[in-house]
Amino acid sequence: MQVTTDIPPSTPIIAPLVMDIFLFIVLIGLLTYVLHRQGRSPKNLDTSSMKPSLTVLIVSLLLIALFGPSNLNIYLELGRIVLIGMSWELGSFMLSFTFFLVGLPFMFLRLVFVYQVYKYYLGTTSRKRVVITGILGELQFPLISLLMVPICLLNPGLAVIISIPIPILLIAGLLMLRYIPRAQGVSGWTELDEDKDWWDKEKDG
């Protein structure tokens, strides 16, 4: 009797996918650990009164930043419309750590936005700075793609990309700032020097 040891065709696809998931878990764990360590500020702020907790908020934003859709890319010459996130591209990669590393220079401000939200809840930055960072994070890839248009036109081998942002991360962050207050005793160090935010103006009006 002949014993076959053929590997199922799905194995070459499953193995990289499992590795990518593992790397993303490690990445999220490292980012959460760094944020937790930095949360031990000289002020000894106690954020335990926050509901939900600060860790839950930041991890939720990280998951949206890494796995949520970020842009709708239109390839004019190819006639293709592709939905992408920081770690995936619909129709090409279901999930790829390599894709994340390649796309990171074009979308890293999304992670900076998450960090700014974290700093806001520690009282070390203002809501205005958080909002500005979030807007820049959503516009980063579209602006880069627009700057690349002249280069693509001069090189027929390159496709012109029109990128439309999908601001799910920005909306989620703004909703957190709007409806989830900071812990008691936490105050923004720059808020005394800046104008009120639009939602505070509505309350005063």
Q: Which residues contact 50 (CB under 8 A, 6 or more apart)?
A: 57, 121, 180, 181, 182, 183
Residue 183 and residue 45 in contact, taking contact as beta carbons nearer than 8 Å: yes
Cα separation of 149 and 139, whole Å?
16
Which among 132, 131, 127, 104 is positioned nearest to 189, based on CA atoms?
Answer: 127
Please say if the pLDDT value at position 193 is more than 50. no
Predicted confidence band at 171 (pLDDT cuts at 50, 70, 90)?
A: very high
Q: What is the pLDDT of residue 26?
A: 75
Q: What is the pLDDT of residue 7?
A: 42
**Higher-confidence position of 199 and 125:** 125
- Where on the phi/psi map is residue 102: left (φ > 0), alpha (ψ -120 to 50), or beta? alpha
Tell me what the pLDDT averaged over the chain comes to: 78
pLDDT digits (tens, 9 = 90+) for 96-154: 667 777 788 899 999 999 999 999 998 889 999 999 999 999 999 999 999 998 988 88
Q: What is the pLDDT of residue 25?
A: 77
Q: Largest alpha-carbon pair distance within the chain? A: 85
Predicted confidence band at 5 (pLDDT cuts at 50, 70, 90)?
A: very low
User: What are the distances in angstroms from CA 136 to CA 14, 17, 118, 169, 201?
Assistant: 36, 31, 17, 12, 23
Q: What is the DSSP string of 133-160?
A: HHHHHHHHHHHHHHHTHHHHHH-TTSPP
pLDDT digits (tens, 9 = 90+) for 24-52: 777 777 777 666 665 555 455 666 667 78
Q: What is the pLDDT of residue 35?
A: 63
Cα separation of 142 and 99, whole Å?
18
Tokens describing residue 61:
């934003």
Cα separation of 124 and 107, whole Å?
24
What is the share, in percent, of the chain residues with pLDDT greater than 70? 67
Q: What is the pLDDT of residue 51?
A: 77
Q: Is the dihedral of CA 74, 78, 79, 80 positive or negative?
A: negative
pTM: 0.75
